Each structure stands twice: as C-alpha cells, then as structure tokens.
C-alpha cells in the first residue's frame, strides 16, 4: 500500500483501512497478530502515534483485540464487522457516484440496472 499523504483522508484511517483489506483478503486471519504501531511506523515512515491511532480505531470497532503486553490480534468477528461497515459506507459512496454519472448521461434507472446486472454476470469472483 502507498499512503496518500496529500489527500483528504487522514493517514491513520488509511492504515486502518489497509489492515481491514488485509483481513478481507485473508492475509490476516482470526487470532493472527497485527503489525505493531512501531512496525507500521517503520513500514510507512510515519509517526508511531499515527499508527497507534489507526490500531485504536480498529480496536474501538472490535476488529482487533489487545493481548496486554503482546500486541493486537484479529478478532473472531473482524471479517463480518468489516463487510457490514463497507456495505454501509464504501459501497454506498460508489453507488452514489454511479447514480450521479448515470444521471449526467441521462440514463434511465432501468438502463443502470441492466448495466449492473450484465457486469455482475461477467465479473469474476475474485475481483
């Protein structure tokens, strides 16, 4: 992952979202140890406090849990939490963009549904 240091999204949120993606892709699984704030700081050349803030965000959402003195680990329900969260946030934003663009192109709702249905049929499962 490459951090967008010039973008609007805070770095700690980018770190948290990257770890979420690692969980969704199976690179981090239940009870796996998550990178420490110092490892993340070293990997991305950021302040350890920024990395800690990203990890705290994940802990607050119960995506990771703390083993005192050992580190943070992926929770049992992490994947389900992330999926629901992204359905409610990311997917909604993407669909809002699609609807806005479709309206600019004077597409009907039926044309959008048809295009989505066709895309759904032709897309691979690991896309």
Q: How far apart are CA 79 and CA 23, in angstroms?
A: 7
Residue 91, both tokens: 């997917």
Domains along the chain with CATH numbers: 11-78 (1.10.10.10), 89-122 (no CATH)
CA distance readout (Å), 6 to 2, 9, 10, 45, 61: 12, 9, 9, 15, 26
pLDDT in tens, 31-63: 999 999 999 999 999 999 999 999 999 999 999
User: What's the whole-number mean pLDDT along residues 3-8?
Assistant: 82
How many angstroms separate the CA atoms of 40 and 33, rounded?
13
State the average pLDDT over residues 69-92: 91
pLDDT beyond 60 at 92: yes
Which has more pLDDT, 65 or 88? 65
**Is residue 127 scored above 70 in pLDDT?**
no
Band (pLDDT 50/70/90 cuts) for residue 87 is: confident
When pLDDT is averaged across residues 13-28 and rounded to a whole number, the result is: 96
């Amino acid at each position: 992952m490459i951090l967008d240091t010039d973008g609007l999204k805070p770095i700690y949120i980018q770190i948290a979202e990257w770890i979420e993606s690692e969980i969704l892709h199976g690179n981090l699984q239940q009870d796996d140890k998550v990178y420490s704030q110092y490892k993340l700081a070293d990997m991305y050349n950021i302040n350890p406090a920024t990395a800690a803030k990203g990890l705290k965000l994940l802990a607050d959402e119960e995506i990771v849990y703390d083993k005192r003195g050992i580190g943070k680990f992926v929770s049992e329900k992490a994947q389900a939490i992330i999926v629901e969260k992204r359905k409610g946030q990311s997917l909604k934003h993407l669909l809002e963009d699609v609807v806005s663009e479709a309206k600019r192109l004077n597409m009907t709702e039926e044309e959008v549904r048809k295009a989505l249905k066709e895309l759904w049929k032709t897309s691979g499962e690991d896309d």
